[in-house]
Amino acid sequence: MDFRLSEEHRMVEKMVYDFAREQIVPIIKEHDRTHTYPHELVPQMAKLGFLGICLPCRYDGAGMDYLSLGIVSEGVEFGDSSCRETIAVHLGLHALPIFQWGTEEQKAEHLPPLARGDYLACFGLTEPNAGSDVGGLLSTARRDGSDYILNGEKMWITLADVAERFLVFAKTDPGRGARGITAFILERGWQGLTTGTIEGKMGVHASNTGWISMSDVRVPVSHRLGEEGEGFKIAMSALDNARYTVAAGANGVIKACMEASILYAKERTTFGRPIAEYQLVQQMIANMQMSLDVGQLLVWKAGWLKNLGIRNTRETSMAKWYCTDAARRSADDAVQIHGAYGYSDEYIVERHLRNTKSAVIYEGTSQIHTLVQAAYALGERVDRPMRCELPAYDPELWG
């Protein structure tokens, strides 16, 4: 058992942290204040290979493994959660499902422009009255010759109003519940497809969150992903990918909060002493370090399983649950260490605290993951093979 990152992984780590410090950090405060999406960062992330980091080179990806996806997610969220969300949604929730479930024709058509960052893509599952209860979604898809006609509403969709491609889910057989759900790839500009932005969020202000409306949208059969009725499986497998990036990104938040707290604690003095000398401050910083160490081990384990092509729903759920809760605690402690200054957006810890609240809600709430882990532990839940598994990493085929 070797816990050391390879030289290649270390290079990726340095590259992404340099990018976060030099490109994200200098501009993200203003985007957060103005609630504007940092479009200028997308070409840079694409150029560095982040938008296709774990896609094979034959699809214009970077040809790296899934552990590299975790490293990139951690480093980008060290800069800001909003930027990591782009990778989670564009790659984890849209491109990787096509890589896993798509025909070779679909992969050749859709993956290269996604990896190059020619346009952004999103994932439309949640609806106004269907979040954790995926089987309760009301969107419908009716077959009409060589097309499907889609109707429905999607809500709380990251990148909804800036994306050009949409992976959406609708019921082709409403009477079958979750087994009647089918996945479709939609394109902006199609008649009947409209989007909008949701205002007034607590955090992740620099990320676009919105809604998708489908009114008699005609979708070619060639844009159906997988078979009819496989939408629920496709959605769940996609969430395994996104939850992995969320967990890894949460570790980036912990690292950012710990770094900021150590710097501030050494400089800030009270009663003639740096506050770093006070044991209660040390306890909060030590807890951040413990959370980071545990969180990284959980993420690396999930990434290792992904590289082997082994289903990792339980491990990824555990990583997402632990890391996001730990990031929220770490950000809260970081604000406490900074005192009144931590309550101001002049310091990054205030933004991280607001952002971490969303992470314990999206991609499955902490309560849902608690139930998932209990079901595994009690033997009430057992993973079964799917028709399509996420391909195991093969350096010869990926390169």
Does residue 358 have a pLDDT over 90?
Answer: yes
* Phi, then psi, of 391 in degrees rounded to 5: -55, 135
pLDDT attached to residue 333: 98
Between residues 253 and 385, the one the model is more confident about: 253
Does residue 38 have a pLDDT over 80?
Answer: yes
Catalytically active residues, by annotation: 363
Confidence of residue 129 (pLDDT cuts 50, 70, 90): confident
What's the whole-model pTM score? 0.95
Query: Domains in the chain and their CATH numbers?
Result: 7-120 (1.10.540.10), 122-231 (2.40.110.10), 236-398 (1.20.140.10)
Does residue 1 have a pLDDT over 80?
Answer: no
- Mean pLDDT on 168-187: 95
Mean of pLDDT over the chain: 95
What dihedral do alpha carbons 219, 187, 358, 363 form, nearest 10°? 40
- Mean pLDDT on 156-172: 97
pLDDT attached to residue 133: 79
CB atoms within 10 A of CB 228: 15
pLDDT attached to residue 217: 98
Paired tokens of 41: 């960062």
pLDDT attached to residue 134: 85
First-last CA distance in the chain: 26
75-95 per-position pLDDT tens digit: 999 999 999 999 999 999 999
Confidence of residue 299 (pLDDT cuts 50, 70, 90): very high
Using CA atoms, how far residue 26 sits from 29, 288, 348, in Å, is 7, 24, 11
267-284 per-position pLDDT tens digit: 999 999 999 999 999 999
Paired tokens of 163: 């994306």
pLDDT attached to residue 310: 92
Does residue 158 have a pLDDT over 90?
Answer: yes
Amino acid letter at 349?
V
- Mean pLDDT on 357-385: 92
pLDDT attached to residue 383: 86
Provide the 8-state DSSP code for 201.
Answer: -
Amino acid letter at 59?
Y
pLDDT attached to residue 136: 87
CB atoms within 10 A of CB 113: 17
Measured over the CA atoms of residue 164, residue 324, residue 237 and residue 372, the dihedral's sign is: negative
pLDDT attached to residue 10: 96
193-248 per-position pLDDT tens digit: 999 999 999 999 999 999 999 999 999 999 999 999 999 999 999 999 999 999 99
Amino acid letter at 350?
E
pLDDT attached to residue 138: 93
Does residue 312 have a pLDDT over 90?
Answer: yes
45-79 per-position pLDDT tens digit: 999 999 999 999 999 999 999 999 999 999 999 99
Confidence of residue 32 (pLDDT cuts 50, 70, 90): very high
- Mean pLDDT on 310-314: 93
- Mean pLDDT on 311-332: 97
Lowest mean pLDDT among 15-19, 102-106, 388-392: 388-392
